[in-house]
Chain A
Amino acid sequence: MSLFLAAAYASEAAHEVHHASAGAAHGGGASHDSSLHTLNFVGLIAHYVGGPTGEFLTRYENLIFEVIVIGILAAVFGAAARRAALVPGRLQTACEAIVEGLEGFVTGILGVRGRKYVPFLGTMFLYIWVMNLIGLVPLMKSNTANSMTLPGPVALPVPTTTVSLALLVFIYVQSIGIKNQGLVGYLDHMAGQPRDVFGWVMVPLMLPIHLIGELAKPFSLTFRLFCNIMGGHILVAVFIGMAIGAAFIPFQAPFLIFEIATSTIQAFVFTLLSTVYIAMMLPHEHKHEEPATHAAGTSASGVHTHGATH
C-alpha cells in the first residue's frame, strides 16, 4: 500500500515537474508536436513500446484521453439509464439530480424555450468538468490544458482542445441566431437594429463593434479555460517540485483541492457564458415570465415553478 503510494507520488511528481520545466523552458523554438509534453500513461506506453505503435500513441494522445473522458461519461450515464425504474436506485438518482440541476440552470437563464439547448450545454459542462478533473489523477492529463506551439517565426503556444470547444460554441450560437431570426434578422441584430435615421447612420460603427464582439467571445472562452487549468497545473507542479527537495512533504495538497474547485468553476463559467450568448442571440423578451426561484448550479432540487415532473 505504501509502496503503491510512493510510486504514485513519484510518478505524479515526475509528471508535474516535467510539465513545469518543459513549460518554462519552451516557447522559443518551433516544434511540431505539443509543446508541454506531459508524462501520462499513454506517453509511458509509447516510450516503452516504441515503433509504429508508439508513434501512433504519441500522435493521438489527446484523442485517446478524449475517448477516455467520453467513455467515463457514457459508462456512468448509460448504466444509470439502462434499467430506468420508476423508483430509481442510487446511481440513477445521482445522474438524474445532475441532469435536473443542469436543466434548471439553463432554463433559469433561457426560459422554458431553452429546454432544447440543455443537451448541448449540459454535455459541454460535464465534458469540460470531467476533462479538467481527470488531469489531477496521476498518470493522466487533462486535454483542456493542452497547447501546441505554432510552427513558424511567431512561436505562440495555442490551446488546442479549448479552442475547438469554443469554436463549437461559436458556430452553434451563430447558427441559432441565423435559424431563429432569419439571415436578414441576424444581420439586423448585428447592425444594432437600425429603425430611424440615427440608427442607420450608426450602422458603420455598430456593425464592426458587434462583429468584433462576437469574435472576441470564443477567444476569451478558450483562453479563460486554458489559462485557468494550465495555471492550476503549473501551480501544483511548482509545489511538487518544492516538495521533492524537502523530504516529500505534500505541500501541493491544498493546491490540489483548490484545483478541484477551479476545475468545477471553470466548467460552470464556460457553460454559463455559452448560455448567456445563446440568450443574447434569441429574440429578446423583456418580460421575465419565469422568475428563477430554483437554486441554479446546486444539485439539490429546489422549487420548480414550471410544473414539469420527471
Chain B
Amino acid sequence: MTYATALAIFLPLALGIAAFGSALGLGKAVAGAMEATARQPEASGKILVNMMAGCALIEALTLYVLIVVFVLSGKIA
C-alpha cells in the first residue's frame, strides 16, 4: 500500500470519525440548551447565546481535522 492509497482511505475516514464525535457533542449541548429553555423560556436569549458559543467551540475540533485533510490531500496528487 503506497502512502497515497493509505491517505486516500484514511483521510475521509478520519473526517467522518471527527464529524461523528462532534455531532454527539453538539447533540448534548443543544439538548441541554433546549431543556434549559423549556424550564425557563424567558431566558431563551441568553441560553441561545451561550449555546452558540459552546457549539462553535465544539465545531472547531472537527475543523482542525478538516485542515489536516486539506493539507495532506495535497500530497496525494
Shortest C-beta distance, B8 to chain A (Å), equals 13
Q: Check if A111 is an interface residue, CB within 8 A of chain B.
A: no
Q: Check if A78 is an interface residue, CB within 8 A of chain B.
A: no
Shortest C-beta distance, A205 to chain B (Å), equals 25
Q: Check if A184 is an interface residue, CB within 8 A of chain B.
A: no
Query: Bound state CA distance, A24 and B72, in angstroms?
Result: 10
Nearest residue (CB) in A for B72 is A27
- Chain A residues within 8 Å of B73, by CB: 24, 27
- Chain B residues within 8 Å of A272, by CB: 53
- Chain B residues within 8 Å of A220, by CB: 60
A179-204 contacts to B (CB < 8 Å): none
Contact assessment for A227 and B67 in the assembled complex, using a CB-CB cutoff below 8 Å: yes
With contacts A224-B63, A227-B63 taken as known, whether A157 is within 8 angstroms of B71 at the C-beta atoms is yes
Q: Check if A268 is an interface residue, CB within 8 A of chain B.
A: yes
Encode contact with B along A291-304: 1 for CB under 8 Å, 0 otherwise.
01001111000000
Contact assessment for A298 and B67 in the assembled complex, using a CB-CB cutoff below 8 Å: no
Query: Bound state CA distance, A227 and B45, in angstroms?
Result: 27
Q: Count the B residues whose beta carbon is within 8 Å of the partner chain — how many?
A: 20
- Chain B residues within 8 Å of A28, by CB: 74-75, 77
Query: Bound state CA distance, A298 and B49, in angstroms?
Result: 9
B33-66 contacts to A (CB < 8 Å): 45-46, 49, 52-53, 56-57, 59-60, 63-64, 66
Contact assessment for B70 and A269 in the assembled complex, using a CB-CB cutoff below 8 Å: no
Query: Bound state CA distance, A292 and B45, in angstroms?
Result: 12
A23-40 contacts to B (CB < 8 Å): 23-28
Q: State which of B46, B63, B66 has its C-beta within 8 Å of the C-beta of A296.
A: B46
- Chain B residues within 8 Å of A157, by CB: 67, 70-71
Contact assessment for B49 and A296 in the assembled complex, using a CB-CB cutoff below 8 Å: yes
Query: Bound state CA distance, A261 and B74, in angstroms?
Result: 30
Q: Check if A160 is an interface residue, CB within 8 A of chain B.
A: no
Q: State which of B52, B67, B77 has its C-beta within 8 Å of the C-beta of A223.
A: B67
Nearest residue (CB) in A for B64 is A223
Q: Check if A266 is an interface residue, CB within 8 A of chain B.
A: yes
A84-126 contacts to B (CB < 8 Å): none
- Chain B residues within 8 Å of A231, by CB: 63, 66
Query: Bound state CA distance, A156 and B60, in angstroms?
Result: 19
Contact assessment for B70 and A27 in the assembled complex, using a CB-CB cutoff below 8 Å: yes
Contact assessment for A295 and B46 in the assembled complex, using a CB-CB cutoff below 8 Å: yes
Query: Bound state CA distance, A297 and B49, in angstroms?
Result: 7
Contact assessment for B77 and A228 in the assembled complex, using a CB-CB cutoff below 8 Å: no
A6-36 contacts to B (CB < 8 Å): 23-28
Q: State which of A24, A25, A27, A227 has its C-beta within 8 Å of the C-beta of B60.
A: A227
Contact assessment for B64 and A227 in the assembled complex, using a CB-CB cutoff below 8 Å: yes
Query: Bound state CA distance, A298 and B52, in angstroms?
Result: 13
Most buried by A among B45, B56, B63: B56
- Chain B residues within 8 Å of A24, by CB: 73
Q: State which of A156, A297, A298 has its C-beta within 8 Å of the C-beta of B71.
A: A156
- Chain A residues within 8 Å of B71, by CB: 27, 155-157
The interface of chain A, by Cβ under 8 A from chain B, is: 23-28, 155-157, 220, 223-224, 226-228, 231, 265-266, 268-269, 272, 292, 295-298
Can you list 11 contacts pairing A with B, beta carbon distance less than 8 Å? Answer: A23-B70, A24-B73, A28-B74, A156-B71, A224-B56, A224-B63, A228-B63, A231-B63, A265-B52, A268-B52, A298-B49
